[in-house]
């Protein structure tokens, strides 16, 4: 499976139906860049490199070497037992949980 298909698979396996959903959840600024990484490249590569692979792998909980090169298995065992980053935790939250968190942050900000 080519890398752009692995990226799309990882996104969907992580629970994001669309590229827009993933970009919004993780605060990635360029939807066009992300979408270009999920498409078969035409001509010159659209820049899906190691840096992007590591970012996407962390967000979608897959191994970056698998994502970029197809090496090994999609799910890495190396991160087992680690405390998730805020970005990972946010990405795993249900929409209702996110709405509640935003409300709490706004209330806290207004109170300070």
Report mean pLDDT in 10-residue bins for the chain, 112 residues.
91 92 90 88 72 91 90 65 64 80 87 80
pLDDT at 81: 41
pLDDT at 44: 61
pLDDT at 7: 94
With a CB cutoff of 8 Å and minimum separation 6, the contacts of 44 are: none
pLDDT at 45: 57
Nearest to residue 13, comparing CAs of 58, 49, 62? 62
pLDDT at 11: 92
pLDDT at 21: 93
């Amino acid at each position: 499976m080519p890398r752009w298909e692995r990226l799309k698979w990882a996104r969907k396996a992580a629970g994001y139906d669309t590229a827009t959903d993933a970009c919004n959840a993780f605060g990635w600024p360029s939807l066009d860049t992300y979408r270009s990484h999920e498409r078969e490249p035409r001509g010159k590569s659209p820049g899906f490199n190691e840096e992007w692979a590591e970012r996407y792998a962390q967000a979608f909980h897959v191994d970056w070497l698998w994502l970029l090169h197809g090496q090994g298995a999609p799910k890495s065992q190396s991160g087992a037992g680690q405390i998730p980053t805020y970005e990972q935790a946010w990405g795993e939250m249900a929409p209702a949980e996110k709405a509640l968190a935003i409300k709490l942050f706004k209330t806290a900000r207004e109170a300070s």
